[in-house]
Each structure stands twice: as C-alpha cells, then as structure tokens.
Structure 1
C-alpha cells in the first residue's frame, strides 16, 4: 500500500485540534520566546535580515557566517532547547501512555542528545554527497556538467531529507536512543514512499510560506509604521510567532506520517515473510 496524503493531513488535523492547547504552551516556551529573544537581542540579526531582503547570495552567506561565528554557542543552546521542545511535543501527541507535560519534557531532555547527534550525522551525509556530486561535475571543466552536478546534488539532498524526515518521531515516539538506528529506522519506514512524501511536504511548505508572508505583511505593517526600532521589535516577534506555528503544525504532520507508515510497515511484514 502507498502513503495516503489525504489521510495523513486528516490525522494531523485531528492531532492539532485535540492537543492545540498543550502544543501552543510548549511551543511558546521552547520556540517562540527563545527565537524572538535571540532575534531581538542580537543586532547582527538585523544585518542578516537585510541581506536576505537584498537577494544577494554572497551577502547573505557572509552575514550568516559572521553571525554563527560570533554566537555559535548561543545557537547551540537554542538548538538544545528547541530539540527538547520538539521531542516533548511529539511525545505528547502520540504516546499511548498519555504523559503529562512534565513527563514529556523529561523524555525530551533524556533523548535530545540522540536527536542532535542524528541531525549532525544527517547534515554530514548531505554535505558529503552534495560536495561529491558538485565536485565531480566541476572537475570535468565543462559548465554543463557542473550545472548538472549541482542539480543532481539538489535532488539527492531532497531525497535524503525526505528519507530521514522521521528521525524525530522515531526517537520521541518509539523511544530509539541510538542515532544511527534512528536514521536507519526512518529510512526503512519511508521505503517506497519517498515521492509521495516529497509531494506532501512540498505542498505543506508552499502553503506555509504563503501564509507566513501574509502574516508578516499584515501584522508587520503597524510595527513598520511606528519607526525603525519598532520594526526590528516586530520582526523578532513575528519571526518567533511564525516559527512556533510552523513547529506545532510540523509536529502533528510528522506524528501522523510516522503512524501511517508504521502501520503500512506492519501490514507489509506478513506478506514479505510469507
């Protein structure tokens, strides 16, 4: 059987409506407040946002490099905090034991290092594959092959991201603490479903991008009219709000996708054995 996009969205919507209050509280504490605080506290965030608005890739890369080089430790702390929040929310929406918020947060704290290790392994894999494919095209000296190598690298990167998209649910819901086994489990769950999953994620991403632009334009206008300082404050608040909303929806989507693919995996097992 194939992954059903409509079923996944309906399941995600049910999870969202049933757990909205708890998810909003956790997202507010672990995503909105830290993200908005960092956005407002660091002057360099304004430089990065200006570079992004300019559309100049070199300028964006330089601004991002300077920002992370200066405050890498802060972003590491932020990653740990948000990792705990993400895993806790996944535990809240899908664990059959119905954990309390405190129990879910404790579980997130115990497994966050496994999650971060899995993310680092995933990034290392993507960088290795992307560099290898682009380098092969560039070494030929032919512009067409170099461009083709870049396109192939992008496609393979998307494929890897989709295949490993269920690492967080595997860790939070199944309780897998070994990062390598979590990566392998996600790869197994998504077997034969990659294209449908890619379409599902892409549709959600496009819808969210449109919604975030609308929210930023509508809610950001009063801040922009109030002056430069108010505009910076508004950008930080809105960035944190959009980030928190995205995470809440993503948690429900990932939990719904994980549940459906785990069920399909169980259905395939008897026939495979037989």
Structure 2
C-alpha cells in the first residue's frame, strides 16, 4: 500500500476530535503537568543560569549536576510519560472505547516492551552507524572520513523512519515482544520510507513554526511583565506546546499505522525484509 499523506493527516485530526475529552485528561496529567513542574521547580535543567552563555562547558556542568541531583524525578517522569504515551495511543485507536483505567493498565503492561524496544533500536542504530564511520576513520584519510559521516546521516533518518511505528505496534497491535515490534514497524513502513520521511519532515517544520510564533509572541509579553509572572507564564506556554506536540505526534502515528496496517495485521512471524 502506498502511503497517502492527506489521508493520514485527516485520520489523525479525526482521532483527536473523536477522543478529545480523554486526550485532554491524559495529556494534562502525563505531559502538561510534569513538564510544568520541571520548568518551575527545576529551572536549571531548562535554562542553566551560567554567567557566560557562551561557556558551553559551564552550561553542561550545571545541567549535569541538576540531572544528578534530580535523577529520581526524571525517572518517574520518564516512566509515567511512557505509560501515558501508550495509553493515549490505546484511547486514540481502540474502537471498543476502553475506559481511561483500562487504557492506563494496558499502557503499564506494555511499557517494559516499549522500553526494551527502544534499547534495541539504539543498539541497532549504533552498530549500523558506527561500523561504517569507524571503518572510515580507521583509514585515516580525510576524504573517506567525511564520506563515512555523510553516509551515516541519511542512514540515521532511514532507521528513524523504519522504526517510527514501534509504539503503535506495541500499543495498538498488542505486540509485547520487542523484536517482533521492531519487525512489525519495519514491515509496515516497507516501500513508503521516502514518503514517510517527507511527511514527518513537513509536519515537523509546520509544528516548529507554530511553536516558535507562540513562544516568541507570548514570551515577549511575559518578559515585559517580568518576575514570577514571566517564569510561570513561559512555563505554562511551553508545557501546553509540549503536550500539544505529543498529542499531534501520537495521533499522526496512529493515523499512519491505521492506513498502512489496514484492518488485519500482517503476519508477525515474518522477519525483516
């Protein structure tokens, strides 16, 4: 099946409209509030207070210390948002209209598989990228080294596209085996990698423009007021933008998955092709 960008977007917007109430609750609890709390309670992690903004080492040191001090908070947020992400996909796609509790339960059960699948993706990407880059640098020839790096860049984007449907494979198809989830995503995107890349790219550009306009305009207003109002106002805006981005992204993934998977999932026993 050839991927249709317009149909995927229409499906995504339809899913958001159909499940608006549930989406607001999940996005608010799992994405808006955690991001807002991080912005207000740990501003160092978001805007490192360094004396010299050009001193990247000092900035990185401040951020590193912040993450060391609050690693447990980051872990809680990571796990809760992972569960919320999977639950949101369930709510968007399950025609049986599960309750919020059922969706969260399925998200919690699926989270270990989601985590393991992401680890596998990192390992696969590391091997696929470091092998040619390492060989290129081993030659010691500048031209070959540059060529190896240039070849690695499109490879990164290719792998990102091929594994972009892992979350729907786990949350929607119910595949709890991480390897099978990777295989499912790989097969669903087969023959549509370029179209999917262009769709993701255009969507990212459009969302980035909207985010920049919203944050810049409102940021100027809050900056003019200053004080706590600026901190809280910017925190609310960035948290809303973050939650909105997550919702749109997941709805798009659900729309793409529904289009490419059809009504009946493909056989999971087939391996990568």
> With structure 2 as the length reference, what TM-score do the two structures score?
0.87
Of 258-267 and 39-48, deviating more is 258-267
Q: What is aligned with 1:271?
A: none
Assess if the C-alpha contact under 8 Å between 1:36 and 1:237 holds in 2: yes
Q: What is aligned with 2:5?
A: 5
Query: Which segments of 5 or more consecutive residues in structure 1 lack a partner in the other structure?
Result: 268-274
Assess if the C-alpha contact under 8 Å between 2:168 and 2:253 holds in 1: yes
How far has the Cα of 1:168 moved from its partner? 0.7
Residues in 1 aligned to 2:46 and 2:247: alpha-carbon distance in whole angstroms: 26
RMSD: 2.6
How far has the Cα of 1:26 moved from its partner? 0.6
Query: Which segments of 5 or more consecutive residues in structure 2 lack a partner in the other structure?
Result: 267-273
Of 65-74 and 86-95, deviating more is 65-74
Residues in 2 aligned to 1:101 and 1:260: alpha-carbon distance in whole angstroms: 25
Q: What is aligned with 2:101?
A: 102
Closer/same/farther in 2, CA of residues 130 and 71 from structure 1, 3 Å limit: farther
Is 1:25 the counterpart of 2:25? The answer is yes
Assess if the C-alpha contact under 8 Å between 1:208 and 1:246 holds in 2: yes
Q: What is aligned with 1:272?
A: none
Closer/same/farther in 2, CA of residues 129 and 212 from structure 1, 3 Å limit: same
How far has the Cα of 1:233 moved from its partner? 3.0
Query: What are the equivalent positions in structure 2 for 1:82-101 lying under 5 Å apart?
Result: 82-101=81-100
Q: What is aligned with 1:38?
A: 38
Is 1:255 the counterpart of 2:249? The answer is no
Show CA shifts across 1:110-134 (max 9, x none). Answer: 1111111111221222233333333
How far has the Cα of 1:64 moved from its partner? 5.0
Of 97-106 and 38-47, deviating more is 38-47
Assess if the C-alpha contact under 8 Å between 2:133 and 2:152 holds in 1: yes
Assess if the C-alpha contact under 8 Å between 2:45 and 2:67 holds in 1: no
How far has the Cα of 1:61 moved from its partner? 5.6
Q: What is aligned with 2:160?
A: 161
Q: What is aligned with 2:175?
A: 176
Closer/same/farther in 2, CA of residues 186 and 75 from structure 1, 3 Å limit: same
- Count how many residue pairs are aligned between Structure 1 and Structure 2: 266
Is 1:195 the counterpart of 2:222? The answer is no
Closer/same/farther in 2, CA of residues 68 and 134 from structure 1, 3 Å limit: farther
Higher helix proportion: 1
> With structure 1 as the length reference, what TM-score do the two structures score?
0.87
Residues in 2 aligned to 1:141 and 1:96: alpha-carbon distance in whole angstroms: 57
How far has the Cα of 1:140 moved from its partner? 2.2
Of 145-154 and 108-117, deviating more is 145-154
What SS does structure 2 have at the residue aligned with 1:153?
Answer: helix
Residues in 2 aligned to 1:20 and 1:55: alpha-carbon distance in whole angstroms: 43
Closer/same/farther in 2, CA of residues 14 and 223 from structure 1, 3 Å limit: same
